[in-house]
Structure 1
Amino acid sequence: MAKQELNWLEDAKSVAAKIRLRGFDYVMQNNGGYLSQICSSAEIFAYLYCKGMNLGPSIAPMVPDPFDCVPSQGKPYYSGSDYNGEKLPHLDRFIFSPAHYALVLYVALIEAKRMAPEGLNDFNKDGSTVELISAEHSPGAEITSGSLAQALSVAGGIAIGRRIKQETGNTWVMMSDGEFQEGQTWEAVQTLAHYKLDSIKVIVDVNGQQCDGPIESVMSLRSLQNKLNAFGAHAEEVDGHDMEAFDRLANMDTQGKPLFILAITDPTRGVSLLNTKRPTLHYLRFSSENEKFSFQQAYDKMLKEPQ
């Protein structure tokens, strides 16, 4: 492996470990949270911000501004996408779809030096842009995507507009696997394939979990890879914690097809104690002080491990 390749990979591995640690720390301090999403998607966000996306420097305040008012005449539109840099023709855009993963996104911005750690102080507080479920004004988010499956359609429209304007940057989308239970997702895939939007690159966190339990027990998805390819996309399954595999696919020529990297992830990665909460991993709530103490011990152990 070339030295340059090794550097980005080692940096990204360090960022992924720090995402888990900082996210776990926040969950412990606040008596619960979306811990399984942090465990499953840390490498996805680390790859995107360390290697995958070609972004300019952040043009947003290191500590996010409070939510002042809704956009209106004489009131500027505040976009969380400013944390991803200017929207220039040659640079990439990032469309964040599963809005309940917001904590992971904020932590990734912190570890990528695009947001200050103090920005988390207002997480999930009234009047804050650092919302529990992200909106278009939340750090790192360009659109409101709290209704899952809408973001891919928006990304397709952005990609078509960029093609018309002859822009060369890619449009990246981060999704969760539960969104493929929605009909709008498949309409969007069909549209991306029809217009041959190979500037669309999607990474899907396939962690097999959703609010009501395991995806297979709620509405089976069967083979996402086969379905997406049948719809005209280029989809491949990879180990969701293997960032080299992400990079290999991200740089391939898909010959006019939108790319879907199906990252098969472990929602308990790094926090094996989470297995005791199966089958409901969606949101961690401590059932007792003893259980919280056990998770605190798991966090303390992670803290002592080399990052």
Structure 2
Amino acid sequence: MIGIQPSWQEEVKQVAYGIRRRVLEHTVINKGGYLSQACSAAEILATMYIRIMNLGKTDEPLMPLPFTGVPGPNNPNAFTGAIFNGPKGPQYDRFILSPSQYALVLYALLIEVNRMAPEGLHQFNVDGYTVEMIGAMHSPGMEVMTGSLGQGLSQAAGIAMARKLRGDTGKVWVFMSDGEWQSGQNWEALQAISFYKLDNLGIYIDANGQQCDGAMCEVMNIEPFADRLTAFGAKVYRVDGHDLDMLVKPILEPVQQGKPLIVIADTIPWRGIEILKERYPKLHYVRFFTEQEREQYAAILKSL
């Protein structure tokens, strides 16, 4: 008897669970990691890869390659991590990870969707390899150097404009954090995106209310966020970032000609690993200061 195929929602839930488990495991083993980002973004990224984006297929999970140097006219061996998102083509979407400190979460995702070999995570932050803590253009799943926070959207805008001029049917999707919108460059980029009517660009924002210095509302509040984005010419939706159907709903709505799509996904930075809430509001990076503290997290990992 042929088994019933799982729904896309069930698949996303399994991938999101796997992201949190892998990042927690990495954090316990390495005595630190970007864990809250996995908690908040797991459903968003899993939904983007499984349901929203049209990416080319990879024949098998890929093993990250050693670093061959930066791109340039004298380095024909340079490459980008876009190969993990499948072959490029005018019909395929492109993915840009803007907040590069989410790299560990992206690597876990790529493993869960069978695009990256699990053994590749052993190269994390090892000299001479490309699985970097702060992802670069050669890191798995990435294709541009997003540098300091706030540079990914500008590059995505340039790619989207080139694709529009070329007549590509594929879109450019950008994953962002809410903290990036404290940077003026993103507002300049959005201004240009709206002016040039780049409706082939979509943005999903992990609005977890956190940044490296604590709660955003206490450091530099960006509300009313949706109203500001709308005023800059975007078609904006605000949804529960852990509700799969709500994450997908915006792409099912009629396309707003000439307007970029922005989805603000409100999330909880300790979702699925409740012990993280004890660290509020300093959740940006989990570092264990005692062995007892690490063992607490190891016990949670064992329960998963």
What TM-score comes out, normalization by structure 2 length?
0.95
Q: Which residue of 2 aligns with 1:299?
A: 301
Is the counterpart of residue 250 in structure 1 residue 251 in structure 2?
yes
Label 1:61 to 1:11 Cα distance change in 2 as closer, same or farther (>3 A): closer
Question: Residue type of the partner of 2:12?
Answer: A
Offset of residue 251 of structure 1: 2.7
CA drift of 1:60 comes to 8.8
**How many angstroms does 1:77 deviate by?**
2.5
Q: Would the aligned equivalents of 1:233 and 1:257 in 2 still touch at CA under 8 Å?
A: yes
* Alpha-carbon distance between aligned partners in 1 of 2:159 and 2:265, rounded to the nearest angstrom: 24
Q: How does 1:2-81 map to 2 (within 5 A)?
A: 7-58=7-58, 62-72=62-72, 73-81=74-82
* Structure 2 counterpart of 1:37, one-letter code: Q
Q: Give the corresponding residue for 2:223.
A: 222
Equivalence for 1:189: 190
Distance 1:167 1:214 in 2: 40
2:298 maps to amino acid = Q
Distance 2:176 2:6 in 1: 27
| 8 Å contact kept, 1:201–1:250 | no
Residues 81 and 36 from structure 1, CA distance in 2 versus in 1: closer, same or farther, beyond 3 angstroms?
same
Over 3 Å counting, the alpha-carbon distance change for 1:74 and 1:186 in structure 2 is closer
- Equivalent residue for 2:264? 262
CA 65–11 in structure 1, closer or farther in 2 if over 3 Å, else same: same
1:283 paired residue number:
285
Percent identity over paired residues? 48
- State the match for 1:127 in structure 2: 128
1:297 is matched by which residue type in structure 2? Answer: A
Q: CA deviation at 1:70?
A: 2.4
CA gap 1:61/1:18 in 2 versus in 1, 3 angstroms: closer
1:155 CA drift (Å): 0.8
In structure 1, give the amino acid aligned to 2:104: L
1:170 corresponds to 2:171: yes
Q: 1:221 to 1:163 in 2, by over 3 A?
A: same
CA contact (8 A) 2:68 2:77 kept: no
Q: 5 Å matches for 1:196-207?
A: 196-207=197-208
d(CA) in 2 for partners of 1:222, 1:60: 43
Match of 2:285, as an amino acid? Y
CA drift of 1:146 comes to 2.6
> 1:76, 1:88 → 2: CA distance?
21
Q: Provide the rounded CA distance (Å) in 1 between the counterparts of 2:160 and 2:204.
A: 16
Cα offsets for 1:221-240 (capped at 9, x unmatched): 11210100011101111001
Unpaired segments ≥5 residues, structure 2? none
In structure 1, the partner of 2:209 is 208
Computed over aligned residues only, the root mean square deviation of the Cα atoms, in angstroms, reads: 1.6
The 3-state SS of whatever aligns with 1:119 is helix
Give the 3-state SS of the residue equivalent to 2:89 in structure 1: coil
What is the aligned length? 299
> More deviation in 243-252 or 35-44?
243-252
Greater CA drift, 10-19 or 72-81: 72-81
Q: Does the C-alpha gap of structure 1 residues 66 and 139 become closer, same or farther in structure 2, counting only changes over 3 Å?
A: same
